[in-house]
């Protein structure tokens, strides 16, 4: 056997390896950090309610990590036991966390004790897991009143882009509506407890990446627009 024979074999192996490597997913590259964000950069905050749910949430986290995307998760307190590792992974991988009550109940019209059982209990359980108490609040069904505002103890974040993914769990429809409603400064609502929503979320990300959008956390979205989130204030979007 000659050296050139082995060189050709080596070359052939290299070519086959290159052909077998899947194409890399479009990664986020434009965003230069909060301070360096050009005003022209289109931003969207991807938000997920009602989790964690180990199977679907883990698959979503895998997909977001592959794409370099950070999202915001509004968690239900009663779902935290035995899923602490999923929450820790969110925290470790740069996602932002929020409270979505303990039992997914309406927060309007509650007495202080009942409000605390929903929000403060969730806050302390989340704090026990991640070691800080800096969380947003998203009231279930987007319903809030003055009592919720006064007692929240943190910014209240709703949404502006809602493909109603819980309705029929139809991936094609959710993707189409999410992309159609997409707008710079928007907050997109999805639920990480459905497989269809995970599929739709990742497809929406890929389509909007190709349109030049950058996905960031709620905190990053508002910081990029020069807005400091205030406790007890309600936010729907950061449209220019």
Q: Which is nearer to Zn ion, 125 or 138 (CB)?
A: 138
* Distance separating alpha carbons of residues 203 and 210, to the nearest angstrom: 11
Q: CA geometry: angle at 229 spanning 226 and 233, to 5°?
A: 130
* Distance separating alpha carbons of residues 140 and 138, to the nearest angstrom: 6
Is position 165 an interface residue for Zn ion (rule: CB under 5 A)? no
Of 130-159, which residues contact Zn ion (CB under 5 A)? Answer: 140
- In the annotation, is 95 catalytic? no
Q: What residues have CB less than 8 Å from 169, skipping those under 6 apart?
A: 194, 195, 196, 197
- In the annotation, is 49 catalytic? yes
Cβ 204 vs Cβ 64: under 8 Å:
no
Q: Which of 31, 44, 48, 50 binds Zn ion (CB under 5 A)?
A: 50
- Choices 50-58, 63-71, 88-96, 149-157 (CB under 5 A): range interacting with Zn ion: 50-58
Is position 219 an interface residue for Zn ion (rule: CB under 5 A)? no
- Choices 43-51, 83-91, 161-169, 229-237 (CB under 5 A): range interacting with Zn ion: 43-51
Q: Which is nearer to Zn ion, 140 or 186 (CB)?
A: 140
* Distance separating alpha carbons of residues 205 and 58, to the nearest angstrom: 17
* Distance separating alpha carbons of residues 232 and 230, to the nearest angstrom: 6
Catalytic residue among 95, 191, 199, 209: 191
Letter string b/e over residues 58-93, b meaning 16 or more CB atoms within 10 A of that residue's CB: bbbbebbeebbbbbbbbbbbebbeebeebbebbbee
Q: How far is the CB of 83 from Zn ion (least distance, A)?
A: 16
- Choices 18-26, 45-53, 58-66, 160-168 (CB under 5 A): range interacting with Zn ion: 45-53
Tokens representing 150?
């006064």
* Distance separating alpha carbons of residues 40 and 138, to the nearest angstrom: 28
Backbone angles phi, psi at 181, to 5 degrees: -80, -10
Give the residue closest to Zn ion by C-beta.
49
Is position 49 an interface residue for Zn ion (rule: CB under 5 A)? yes
Is position 192 an interface residue for Zn ion (rule: CB under 5 A)? no
Q: How far is the CB of 100 from Zn ion (least distance, A)?
A: 6
Q: How far is the CB of 131 from Zn ion (least distance, A)?
A: 25
Q: How far is the CB of 49 from Zn ion (least distance, A)?
A: 4
Q: How far is the CB of 98 from Zn ion (least distance, A)?
A: 11
- Choices 47-55, 145-153, 201-209, 224-232 (CB under 5 A): range interacting with Zn ion: 47-55
Cα Dmax for the chain: 86
Q: Which residues are catalytic?
A: 49, 191
Interface with Zn ion (CB under 5 A): 49-50, 140
């Amino acid at each position: 056997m000659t050296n050139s024979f082995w060189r050709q074999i080596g070359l052939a192996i290299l070519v086959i390896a290159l052909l077998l490597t899947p194409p890399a997913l479009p990664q986020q590259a434009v965003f230069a950090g909060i301070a360096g964000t050009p005003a022209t950069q289109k931003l969207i905050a991807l938000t997920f309610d009602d989790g964690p749910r180990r199977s679907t949430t883990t698959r979503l986290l895998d997909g977001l990590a592959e794409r370099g995307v950070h999202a915001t998760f509004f968690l239900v307190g009663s779902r935290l036991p035995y899923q602490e590792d999923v929450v820790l992974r969110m925290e470790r991988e740069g996602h932002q966390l929020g409270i979505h009550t303990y039992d997914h109940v309406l927060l309007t019209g509650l007495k202080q004790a009942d409000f605390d059982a929903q929000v403060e209990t969730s806050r302390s359980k989340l704090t026990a897991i991640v070691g800080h108490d800096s969380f947003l609040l998203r009231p279930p069904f987007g319903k809030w009143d003055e009592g919720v505002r006064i007692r929240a103890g943190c910014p209240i974040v709703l949404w502006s882009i809602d493909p109603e993914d819980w309705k029929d769990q139809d991936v094609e429809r959710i993707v189409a509506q999410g992309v159609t409603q997409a707008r710079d400064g928007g907050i997109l609502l999805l639920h990480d407890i459905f497989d269809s929503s995970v599929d739709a979320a990742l497809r929406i990300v890929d389509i909007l990446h190709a349109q030049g959008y950058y996905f960031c956390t709620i905190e990053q979205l508002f910081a990029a627009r020069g807005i400091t989130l205030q406790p007890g204030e309600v936010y729907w979007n950061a449209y220019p």
